[in-house]
Structure 1
């Protein structure tokens, strides 16, 4: 007979799920079965489904397409039937999904408007497609929401708007280029992008540092410029940025869990930027050189596996380093002073 029911909470918060087809053998979908599936873009409801539980598709903000083969009355914008049609741009009764995967970017076209719904690849530095079949497109709301591995992105000239919360909580995002075609940015599109220190604004939008306008785009920025290339530097998988003659270590993009921070940056001291290693739950130990002059807010926050900090300077030097709010919250480490780096460890 196959599967006949989908239980309550069965796929709840499965954030990597992008589409699902419910077979005809299924008669019921339980409460909150797919709630919080924030990447879900398309669902097919099989012929046998007679009931959908409360909030079964709640918070599926990108669920633009519903293919309803059942006898249920599923309507756009309705909270009935577990919100399955609430977020939909289109509800149809047959056919295949119209979601298109182009170079790991998911697109959907509705009423002659092309929407970029999200990204399903593994790159952390993304250049978005120049166009969709020769046409402009919009970045849909929540498209890259909570994509915590994304470090930089370039918006091409074909993009006309960036939707609400499109990049919110992209906590590793350090640099973005806004093309001259962008005319609008939705509310909180870049909220929670604490390390977005560099904005290259080629548009006519008035993007200013520390402003919550234009979706918080410039709110966290150290620098907003109108042309040129990114000044973020990758040094052995450590990302650095220099502004007003201060060097900042923004984060780490490698795979090591025992880190040996660079001895210096081009012969100079540097600061560990706020949120640099935020929620790095795989980090177990770190060597911090005495060239570090400050550790920013929340820099190692949530590093629950961080057991050892080896500091190459003295205890007095360590105590003199400026440390931001909650920089080590949630950690339980031992610290060793005057640490000598073994010769077999890379600087």
Structure 2
């Protein structure tokens, strides 16, 4: 063996300076290997751990005692140059650690019986890079294998049963016990135990033809593994191949069940063959960002997040899939072709942010979950003839959605079609209630037909700018702001309506006619700024709230014979109204008839004293208007023989008596 020379070649890797004022000194640096054996031209990466983790300057300096034997770069990658020995030193601050590198032209290839593993000479172990073990391995033999730390290829030729759990993984330190292992073959082994090969970062190939079960995290973080062919595998445990960053192909022809997250974060995976897979665990292919297509012809059940964040997934053929969990395809932005004809429910977040999806792939679904199609901006049709429930935000922000078949829907929940700006027509013959904000900002919606609807929640049709026709003959209760800013709505007839909340028709500038024969109260801002409103029929209304008809500049006809109370600014700027008749009105508030510039006749038939504000008629020229009051002995504040045409603090063209009953 050659002795290391005293000259060192140094490679340095320096991170940006720590911005903190307080300097935290390095207290230690440790290499993951103390000695390695390499063949000429082979490479091996050393990993250094600096303590404490938050040291102000954790930069590393790497040095080789003899670059003619072995070189090291700034990342710790050692390259064998020629036969001999060299010492690799890493320095962090004032702390150092070393690894002896032995370079040999000859690689030791050894075949041993399992019984001889424990007694193999210790000084010969470092040179063994390929090992074939015959016979049956007992616990002691398996444990003896972990001494062969330079193994690159390991074959378990005859032993059956299982590779024990944690076999080649030190859980306490979180490192592989065979860090150089590249190939593993075990033709008779039938099971791989939990954590057996976790963090075997050099492992590139496995040959396990009879393995039927793989335990939890067995190959987790095997970052160099590129392909798996497991012809006998039937079950894969949780996280079995998670974070296998280089894995491109997974061929498992007999696999029938995966547990959760089996291939999670396998960012290079492009080819999957699992023709017998029937049940897929939670997040099985989660964040497989290179996967473009998948066909699982026998898959019946998926537990959720199965293909979530598969950024390149374009197609999935799942003809037998009957049940799935939440978020199965969430954030698959290029998904266009999906075959799931057996699905009877679309769970929460199923297609959330699937921007390229154009049609519903589950036409027989009976339920559509929360945000199931949220932000599917290319979705054009949603044929759901069997659906009875559409959950909150199910189609929220589906800006291209034009056509929906919801003929069986009975439960339509909040914001279900919020921001569906291309939706033009909706028919829901079985629906009996509309939740709040269901169609808010559906700016292309022109016609709504819901013959059985009895209740409409707050803001259900806010800003449906194109809405012209509403067919809801049985509606009884309407919430606040339901039709606010429906600027194309021309007529509203609701023969069964009994209760309607505030601002319902606020800024419906095209509304001309309203008939609500059973409503008894008009609340605040009801028809605020309905500048096209001409005729309103309110035969049972007894109270009209503040600002209810403000700026209804085209209003010429109002039938409200039962009104007792008018709030402030009710008819402010109703500049086309020539006559008001209120047989029972006894209360007027501030600016009730303000700026009614065309008013010529006002009939007030109450028998008692009428309460008013000093500004009830501000901006209205009452000298052009005839005031008619009940002639049956009623008294009115402010009338005196000396000023017979003065009443309510203003002067009228005339003050006359009339009989409201005639």
TM-score grouping bracket, smaller chain normalisation: 0.3 to 0.5
Q: TM-score, normalised to structure 2's length?
A: 0.23
Q: TM-score, normalised by structure 1?
A: 0.37
